[in-house]
Structures are given as structure tokens and as C-alpha cells.
Structure 1
Amino acid sequence: MSAGKSVRLFLADGTPGGLLTAEIMNWTGLVVAAPRSDLAALLKRPEATRTGIYILLGDDPSSLGGQMAYIGEGDDVSKRLYQHARSEDQNGKDFWDRAIVLTSKDTNLTKAHARYLESRFITLAMQASRARLTNGTTPPPIVLPEADVSDMEYFIEQAKIVLPVLGVNLFRSPTTTTTVPHTEVAGTRTDSPVFEMTLKKSGITATAQEVDGEFTVIEGSSARLKWTGGEGHSYTSLRAKLEQDGTLVPTPDGSAMRFTRNHVFASPSAAAAIVAGRSANGRTEWLVQGARRTYGQWETEGVEEAMKEEVSNE
């Protein structure tokens, strides 16, 4: 059973698209995010002059996640951001349009801590495959005392909670659970049953699960060998990207495609279309494994009861 978390956001200039800070109660970490156009304001903040980690984000239409990213560390993060703000002919970086700074409110992060965090965040980003990293190397984790490692891993876990709230999904790994029944916390489902989609004539079966609000097709699922939905369809480019990056590969007998890793889709219908090789309605195509309930029926479970309770309480 998951415990709730309170994430505190502060919009420094009063606008949702400007500079903001984010923190969790009883966590010593602090996140500051700003668009590149607000870099000057970010550099003036005391948090940016501390030891910490920074993430540069930009668009990359050619990648599956649609983003490029660079992860770095510094004793004074503001100096590193200033260097990256230069043009590429001055050894800067042009691709990014948003900067994220992760530091500590109690200023207890050391250079060694920052190097450990940098290595771990790069590894997590590579495992999640949500963005194309522009880091040239992956530094090995620095050796820290056992207590420090525990503290840094806790820092990472809290950062992985805060960052998605800011729309930064770089480290969200498409993991799934194997339990079929879903659990509820204060009326909110924390995982889903396993869903299955079958194309009987083609001998294709795929499984998926909704975890943390994301619809994920599970590694080992199969998909139609070729796209049959016609050229110019909105999912043809997605299918091509999945084949190019090795997420979809032919089965040994060449009769179908196979998912080599868990993959998060924008919707159940997007997942269904890739599996079927044509346009498909994911709300009806995906069925709860071992039952005849559709994803759409599962999704709206309890809605009628909730409305009846609301009416009876009026």
C-alpha cells in the first residue's frame, strides 16, 4: 500500500511556465526548474550556486520520447549552466530549452555526493529510454561510505517523485507488477490488472498493465509483423521508431514482431494500434487477463457507485 506524498510547488514569478521550485516535506532536497529564457533569474538564485545536479532538456522529434537531455554536476551549478548557455561554437549547447537543478536545502551535498548522483541519474535515464542523452560518457559511481550511499539513494527516490510532477519523466522506468488484482488507497487504484490483446488469426498475443498512470506493454509481447493500416497514419512513424531502436524485432520464425523491453504508450489505443498493425480502439481491444472485461469497463469501475454515494450524501 502506497503512502501519500505532499509536493510543494512555488511559482517564483506567478506563472506556470516560468521559474518554479519544488520540494517534499521532510526531504532536504530542492528542485528548481526554469525555461532557458529565465536562465538569468535562475542563475541569481542562491540554490543555483550550491553543489548539485543539473538536467538540460530539449526537443528531439526523432527519438521515441521526443526529448534530448544532458545530465551534469557541479560545485557551483550556476557556473556550469552559464557555460552551457553559450553557443556551440563557444563550447556551449544549443539544443536545450529548459534547465532543472537538484540540490540540498541544508547545503550538505558534497562534490563526491554530486558525482555519485550524476552517475546514477545517467544510468537511470539510459535504462528508462525516455530521452536521447547527449552525455558523451557514463562516469562510474564513485565509492561512498555505506551511510552516504543510503542517503543518496533516498535523494534519488524523492527526486523521482518530484520530477514527474514538473513534467520531467526522464527517469521513469516502465516497470510493471505481476499481481492481477488491483489495490486501492483512499479510493485510488495504485496498479492495474494485467490486460491482454489477442489477434487469433495471426497467433499474436500481447500483455500490458497500467502503472502509475501509464499504459505499458510488457516485454515479450508480440505484434503484427507489418503495418497494414496504410501510409500516412499517425502511428506509422511511431511503429518505425520502435523498429529502429530495437524495441520491436522479428520473432525467430519471422511470423511476427516481439517487444524486447517494456514500453510506455501515450494511450491504450496507441498500444493496440502498434500490436495490431492498424488503427485500433484500445478501450475495447484490451481485455482483463482471464476475464471478459475491457480496459474501458475496468477504467470506469466504481464511477456509478461514486455518483450514487454523492447523490445520497446531498
Structure 2
Amino acid sequence: MQTPFSLRIFVADGDPDGLRIVEKSNWIGKALVFPRALLPQVKARPELAQTGVYLLLGPRPDGEGDMLYVGEGDPIRPRLESHYAQKEFWTRAIGFTTTTAGQLNKAHVQFLESRLIALARAAKRLPLDNANQPAEPSLSEADRADMEVFLGHMLGMLPVLGVHAFEQAPKGPAAMAAPVLTCKGKGVQATGYETSQGFVVRVGSQAAATVTPSFAKMAGPSELRADLLKNGVLMAEGDVLKFTQDYVFSAPSAASDIVLGGCTNGRLSWRAEDGRTLKELQEAEAAQ
């Protein structure tokens, strides 16, 4: 069961697209969210003189979707200044520190960096600019437990801040409560369900090995399909492709596009056991 929480977002310069300082109820941490262009002004803030972990986000070189870099700094400021000069892709940054200086040390943020990179690689939702997987530092049992709690707060906040790179398909009772839907066609069959994160296609589902000409001309779906193949989410098995893990798509149509290898309407392509489409199920729920 998810625990409700509240966030306090302070717009420090009065510009909603400028520096935002985000704090979570009953947590020692805080986040600074700001566009790259503001780093020359933001770098003077005391939070960036602390030890912390940070995310850099921006468009991929091909312009289709975002990519991510995860880093740590002791303190953060010199690392961001280096990336400002040397990394081209990023357009916004999120830095995590604590409300009181000195509550995180170098080993703590190295642990957080390692865990975040591992989670992003497992979720396979955004390509990473990090070349390697850093090893976890040696932490005491108590420190490790504390950092797992700190990480949990971060992961709870990030989707609210528009970052979904670490989210994997939900499991457990909440996921099982959703009706399982099926998408069939072109000799393949896939199953999935709706969640608050998006539409989940389940492990073992099939996808078409070939795509239609119209699909091939659509940059977004084509790039997503290429990413899924590159990351091993889709693997060839005989004449079809197979999902090697549960995978969250942004919408039912994005999921059925990949499954059927064409331009589809997911609300019509996904059907329940009784034959009703997702559209019909949603209309029935709305009428209740």
C-alpha cells in the first residue's frame, strides 16, 4: 500500500520554470530543480555546496525523447560546473541534498548514485549517458538501511517532478486488481493491464518482427522499438519478438503499436476476456 505524502514546492525566483526547491513531508532531504541556463546564478546557493546526488536530463542527440545522467558530488557544485562546460545534452538538473549540511557523506552519495543507475538500467525507460555501473561503496548495515530509506523518498518524489526513468512495472495486489487485456494480430499475442504509471505489457508477450511502412516513418515509435531491441526488452524468438520483462508504456496505443508493428488505437486493440475493448470498459466504468 502506498503511503500518502505532501510536497512543498518553493519557486525561489518567482518563475515557475526557474529554480524550484522541493521538500517532502517527514524527510531530511530536499531537491533543487532548475534549467541549465540558470546554473551560473543557482551555483551560489548553499545547497550545492553540500554533498549530494544529482540527475541531468535533456534530449537525445537524435532529438527523439530524453536521456539521463546520474552523478554525485562532494560537494555537488564543482561537478555541475564541469558538466555545464563539457556535457552538451542536458537542459535541466535535479540535485538532492539534505535540509541540514553534513547529513550525507561521500560513501552515502556513491551508494545512491550506484543504486539509481542500476534502477534506471533495469527499468530501461531512458537511455543513460553514464558509461559504467559504479560499484556500491562499503557501508555499515545501519547506513545502508538509512540510504535505502533516503532513496525511497527520492523515488517517490521524482514522478511528481516529471521523471519516470526509474519506474518499473508495478507488482503485487495493486497491479493484479487491473483486468488483464489481450492484443492479437499479425500472428502475435500480448497481454497487459493499465496502471497509474501507464500501460504495462507483461513478460512473455509477443510482438511482430516486422513493421508497416507507416510505422517505419514515425520517428517516435520507431526509436522506441529500436531502444527496446537494443536494451533486450524485446528479443527475437522464431518468427516473432518476445518481451523479456514487464514493460510500462506511456499509453495503450504506444503498447499496441509495438506489439502489432503498426499505427494502432490502443483503446480498440486491447480487449478483455469477454471481447469488450478497452474503450468499452472505460465507457462502462465512467457510466457507473
TM-score where L is the length of structure 2:
0.89
Structural mapping, 1:166-181, within 5 Å: 166-177=161-172
1:266 match: 250
Residues matched between the structures, number: 285
CA RMSD in angstroms, aligned pairs only: 2.3
Moved more, 170-179 or 73-82: 170-179
CA deviation string 1:175-210 (max 9, x = no partner): 44477763xxxxxxxxx22221123xx542101122
1:74 & 1:130 partners in 2: Cα distance?
Answer: 25
Cα deviation for residue 140 of structure 1 reads: 1.2
1:275 & 1:110 partners in 2: Cα distance?
Answer: 46
- Work out whether residues 246 and 260 of structure 1, in 8 Å CA contact, stay in contact via their aligned partners in 2: yes
1:145 match: 140
Cα deviation for residue 276 of structure 1 reads: 1.7
1:103 is aligned to 2:97: yes
- Determine what percentage of the aligned residue pairs are the same residue: 39
Moved more, 144-153 or 236-245: 236-245
2:83 match: 84
CA deviation string 1:33-91 (max 9, x = no partner): 11011112321211111111011112115598x222222112211121112212xxxxx
1:294 match: 277
Secondary structure at the residue paired with 1:287?
Answer: coil
Tell me, which stretches of 5 or more residues in structure 2 are unaligned? none
- Judged with a 3 Å threshold, the aligned counterparts in structure 2 of structure 1 residues 129 and 239 are, in CA distance, closer, same or farther, namely closer
TM-score where L is the length of structure 1:
0.82
2:23 match: 23
CA deviation string 1:200-248 (max 9, x = no partner): xx54210112233311212210012211354524634443443344332
1:16 & 1:298 partners in 2: Cα distance?
Answer: 38
- Work out whether residues 227 and 236 of structure 1, in 8 Å CA contact, stay in contact via their aligned partners in 2: no
Tell me, which stretches of 5 or more residues in structure 1 are unaligned? 87-91, 183-191, 306-314
- Judged with a 3 Å threshold, the aligned counterparts in structure 2 of structure 1 residues 215 and 63 are, in CA distance, closer, same or farther, namely farther
Secondary structure at the residue paired with 2:94?
Answer: strand
Instruction: Name which of 217, 220, 235 aligns with 2:204.
Output: 220
- Work out whether residues 229 and 279 of structure 1, in 8 Å CA contact, stay in contact via their aligned partners in 2: no
1:62 & 1:264 partners in 2: Cα distance?
Answer: 22
Cα deviation for residue 102 of structure 1 reads: 0.5
- Work out whether residues 23 and 162 of structure 1, in 8 Å CA contact, stay in contact via their aligned partners in 2: no
1:240 & 1:20 partners in 2: Cα distance?
Answer: 35
**Aligned residue identity for 2:76:** V
1:195 is aligned to 2:205: no
1:61 & 1:216 partners in 2: Cα distance?
Answer: 27
1:134 match: 129
* Bigger Cα Rg: 1
- Judged with a 3 Å threshold, the aligned counterparts in structure 2 of structure 1 residues 154 and 206 are, in CA distance, closer, same or farther, namely same
